[in-house]
Chain A
Amino acid sequence: MSKIRQIVQLFFEGDHPAETKKKFYRWLLSPSSESEKEKALVEQWNGIESIADSSTKNSFNEVIVRFGVDKRKQRLRATPKLIRIAAVLLIPIITGLAAYLYVKNSENQSVEFVEYFTPNANLRKIDLPDGSSVTMNYGSIIVYPRNFTAKRREVFLSGEAKFTVSHDKKRPFIVKTNDMNIEALGTIFNVSSYVENSEIITTLVDGKVRIDMKNSEENFVLEPLQQIVLDRETGKTFIRQAKLELELAWEKGYLSFQNADIEDIMQEIQRKYDVRIYANYKEIKGEKLTVKFAPDESLYEIFKTIQLLINKFNYRIEGDNIYIY
């Protein structure tokens, strides 16, 4: 292999200190052996065999939002991560919000909205104007009116949050998500509705909630300690007993899963540790795990453990990037 091809190959396959990177770029841009350098780059390009995963779909949704409205390109570069999260989360919310505003307008009231979002690797607790409180998990967004003046207390959620709703018989409290609406009187419940997850779950801790499924128009009533699970791929819904210590462990910084899909587990790790996971799920598709990780456990320990639990699970951690193959 020629020296030039070796240099490009070694640079592409490894992680290098800033000084080396600069040297490489300087070398690459220097006006010598241009056509051989170009050949070496094409060789790298041809050698890539990446396949789409669920994050590709997210990226697609983000990109089509930008068609025709690309004047904010500069801003996007300034705060890439925050805007990116907002863009993913805004898609379901915009649809919900539009419907909401339409209803409000017809009632001839103007409503001011508050929007909160927790970036990756952040938890946040907020108080709603009616005294209800919400604890939000990593990478979640919630939109609610500054004042609950309407007959119903409606909030929009994308991501995961635990609601402790103050009692008000006259004004039902409704959490709207992409796939289901959860209606409560005075109660505590947890909603997990990340756009990138394959399962949408509402867990009732105390009180009573009514669930309206958006697609099937079915209704369910949950008893305490029950949870309703919607499988996004099959569209099937079922109710099961919840293991609360697993479902709510996230509040205390734990990472816990109850018979969860390996792909959803990887999404959760991405959000909590703010890393990127590149996975080829072919070999491990359909694997389900029930497992709980302590708040102080390192990424290394987590992946080591998963490797013990799943056959054919190989990983490599390179800084903020994790490769699963």
Chain B
Amino acid sequence: MNENKLKLYEDIFIKYFPKVKCFITRFIKSSAIAEELTQDVFVKIWENFDKIMYIEYRDAYIYRIARNAALDYITQKYKEESLIDNVKLREGYSIEEEMDAKELELLIELTVNGMPPQRKKVYEMSRIDGLTNDEIAKNLNISKKTVENHLNLALKRIKKIITAFPFLFVIIASHLQ
């Protein structure tokens, strides 16, 4: 094995392995599998080492292998369940509008997931389970005022997103009632 080649490889490894692993972990949400995939990525880099010699493309090249590794893993994992979505059309809306609405729903869902746990719980109990503020307060053993605060903050956050896309308001109005 060429000593210089191995040395350069190690430098690249030390510099990029944490970045690739972090990217894949955030992408697929499992650090154990991300470690395996990242190792695969670096075996591939070794096998195609001449491509990595050109420093100006290095970052983009490594990004591409990392992204493909994550995407391959995802398509493989969900193979059975078909990730291709069938959009059901509601009357009066075009397919573009439906897809936009779906996108917005996803955005709201991600926003709710990112809220502090209790706020998320209050929001879901209120909007999904349809409980009253009194019932939520009792259930979570917190004051009604706290429930209202949580709801206000949650709705404010969501409203801010939604007002950026006003024409979709009708479709996702259920989130705001």
**A interface with B by C-beta (< 8 Å):** 3-4, 6-7, 10-17, 20-27, 29-30, 32, 41-42, 44-45, 48-53, 56, 59-60, 62-64, 66-67, 70, 73, 76-77, 80-81, 84, 276, 278, 320-321
Q: How many A-B residue pairs have CB under 8 A?
A: 129
CB distance A52 to B114 under 8 Å? no
Query: Known: A45-B63, A66-B39. Contact between A14 and B114, CB under 8 A?
Result: yes
Q: Are A3 and B26 in contact (CB under 8 A)?
A: no
For the A-B complex with A12-B27, A63-B13, A80-B35 known, give 12 more contacts whose Cβ atoms are closer than 8 Å.
A3-B107, A13-B26, A20-B106, A25-B78, A27-B106, A29-B74, A30-B84, A64-B6, A76-B36, A77-B36, A320-B31, A321-B25
Among residues 1 to 28 in chain B, which have CB atoms less than 8 Å away from a CB atom of chain A? Answer: 6, 10, 13-15, 17-19, 21-23, 25-27
Residue B104, interface by CB 8 Å: yes
Residue of A26, A64, A80 touching B83 (CB-CB under 8 A):
A26
**For residue B111, which residues in chain A have a CB less than 8 angstroms away from its CB?**
10
Tell me if B173 counts as interface (CB < 8 A to partner A): no
CB distance from B98 to the nearest CB of A (A): 12
- Smallest CB gap from B34: residue in A: A276
Given known A-B contacts A6-B107, A7-B106, A29-B75, A60 and B14 have beta carbons under 8 A apart: yes
Q: Which segment of B40-48, B50-58, B130-138, B141-149 sits at the interface? A: B40-48
Q: Which 4 A-B pairs have the closest CB atoms?
A: A50-B18, A10-B110, A12-B26, A276-B31
CB contact between A7 and one of B66, B84, B107 (< 8 Å): that residue: B107
Provide the residues of chain A in CB contact with B74, threshold 8 Å.
Answer: 25, 29
For the complex formed, measure the closest distance between the CB of B50 and the CB atoms of chain A, giving whole angstroms: 15
| B106 → A minimal CB distance (Å) | 5
CB-nearest residue of chain B to A9:
B110
Q: Across the interface, name the chain A residue whose C-beta is closest to B26.
A: A12
Residues on B with C-beta less than 8 A from A4 are 103
Check: B29 CB closer than 8 A to any chain A CB: yes
Can you list 26 A-B pairs with a CB-CB distance of less than 8 A?
A3-B164, A6-B161, A7-B106, A7-B110, A10-B107, A11-B110, A12-B27, A14-B114, A20-B106, A20-B109, A23-B106, A24-B110, A29-B84, A30-B84, A48-B23, A50-B19, A51-B18, A52-B14, A56-B18, A59-B38, A64-B6, A70-B43, A77-B36, A80-B33, A81-B32, A276-B31
Query: Are B104's CB and A59's CB within 8 A?
Result: no
CA distance A23 to B17 in the complex (A): 28
- Inter-chain contact A42/B17, CB cutoff 8 Å: no
Contact between B114 and A10, CB atoms less than 8 A apart: yes
Given A16-B110, A20-B110, A26-B84; A84-B35 close (CB under 8 Å)? yes
B63 touches A20 (CB 8 A): no
Give the docked Cα–Cα distance between A48 and B31 (Å). 15
Which of B18, B85, B165 makes the CB contact (< 8 A) with A30? Answer: B85
A15 touches B35 (CB 8 A): no
Tell yes or no: B175 within 8 A of A by CB. Answer: no
Residues on A with beta carbons closer than 8 Å to the beta carbon of B32: 80-81, 276, 320
CB atoms of B15 and A52 under 8 A apart: yes
Chain B residues positioned under 8 Å from A321 (CB to CB):
25, 31
Q: How far is the CA of A7 from the CA of B13 in the complex (A)?
A: 30
Closest Cβ neighbor of B45 among chain A residues:
A63
A316 CB to nearest chain B CB (Å): 13
Tell me the complex Cα distance, A49–B16, Å: 10
| B113 CB within 8 Å of chain A | yes
B121 CB–A CB distance under 8 Å: no
A66 to B45: give the CA distance in the assembly, Å: 12
CB distance from A281 to the nearest CB of B (A): 13
Contacting residue for B103 out of A3, A16, A20, CB 8 A: A3
Task: Evaluate contact between B17 and A59: CB separation under 8 angstroms.
Answer: yes
Q: Any chain A CB within 8 A of the CB of B81?
A: yes
List, in ascending order, chain B residues with CB within 8 A of A7's CB.
103, 106-107, 110
